[in-house]
Amino acid sequence: MLIRRFASLVLACGFMSGAAAALAAPSAEGACPPQPSPPSRELMQKAQQQAVDRGFLWRISRDGRDSFLYGTLHAGRPEWFALGPRTEASLSRAGTLALEIDVTDPAVQAALQGAMQGPPRALPAELMRSLRAAWATECLPADTLDRGAAEFHVMQLGVAQAQRQGLFPLYGAESVLLVRSLGRQRPVVGLESVQTQLSALLARDDEEAATMVREALAELQRPQAVHTLERLTRAWVTGDLKDLEAHAEWCDCVNTPTERESYARLVDGRNPGMVNAIERLHASASVFAAVGALHLVGPRGLPALLAARGFKVSRVF
């Protein structure tokens, strides 16, 4: 289930992709995943020359004020490192950029580092050997397996698989939004806490963690599974909301009770808290809220929940 679950994670959660990518070890070996270079001025200029609107953008209006809700992909390609004209115009109207968590906050960074450096899970010996083998295949540093929850490690394997398809967290939509906002001294805030994301992402006990790792490692053996991430990426690039709304039907990732519970906790379960934060921010200033696109679909998605609270919700593109 690795690629299927990561296809959801890459849209539905933010910080894990970046934290995992930071642990990837660059290598000259051809078998290792490619590594991104830091965005250069030349890269950004080239991307700007061919910038188009990608993703999903809504205007949310109430009390005479407009805010915006943007569905993102948390990984991207170098040529995407620019905002399209309608996205740029909407961001320029907002006084605040709101991400799932504020990765510019030193306290948030410390909390993330602490979670990544925490005590390891107690996994069966045979499972740990399999995890180490997969870890080595993706050229990840061996000593990092001795700390942090195993759930983090399988997500890092998912990041490595995405990098093999040319998708890098460093070039994700949030990175572009941060560059644009920090350059103009626009305030950046988080819609939820690190603890909220950790509660959604982590297994509740060692047994559940072992199940997650075992399923992920089995999925590594299924080459056809990469098509799920390709389809999800295509839906985001083309703004295909209909296909995104049907994600649970074709992702092959919500089949078992454990998968359904995990998916619900990771996606819909976090939406009410985000809505509360958006409503609170909108009360005092226009906000550009950027979250993983899977948070925006269905009757429990953010647009539907905001409409139920009296917002006028209209899709920009």
Q: What is the mean predicted confidence (pLDDT) over 2-18?
A: 46
- Strand boundaries in the chain, DSSP class E: 56-62, 65-72, 96-99, 188-190, 287-292, 312-315
Q: Which residue has the higher pLDDT, 248 or 92?
A: 92
Give the span between the Cα atoms of 291 and 77, in whole angstroms: 18
Over range 192-219, report the average pLDDT: 88
Average pLDDT over residues 220-235: 82
Task: Give per-residue pLDDT as tens, 142-163.
Answer: 888 988 999 889 888 889 989 9
* pLDDT bracket for residue 20 (50, 70, 90): very low
Q: How confident is the model at residue 48 (pLDDT cuts 50, 70, 90)?
A: very high
Beta strands at 56-62 and 65-72: parallel, antiparallel or unpaired = antiparallel
DSSP 34: P
pTM of the predicted structure, to 2 decimals: 0.90
Residue 260: pLDDT band (50, 70, 90) is confident
User: Token pair 């070039």 is at which residue?
Assistant: 171
Look at residues 167, 153, 149 and name the one whose alpha carbon lies nearest to residue 76. 167
SS3 59: strand
Residue 113 binned pLDDT confidence (cut-offs 50, 70, 90): confident
Burial class (CB in 10 A: 0-12, 13-18, 19+), 50: exposed
Residue recorded with tokens 């250069």: 40
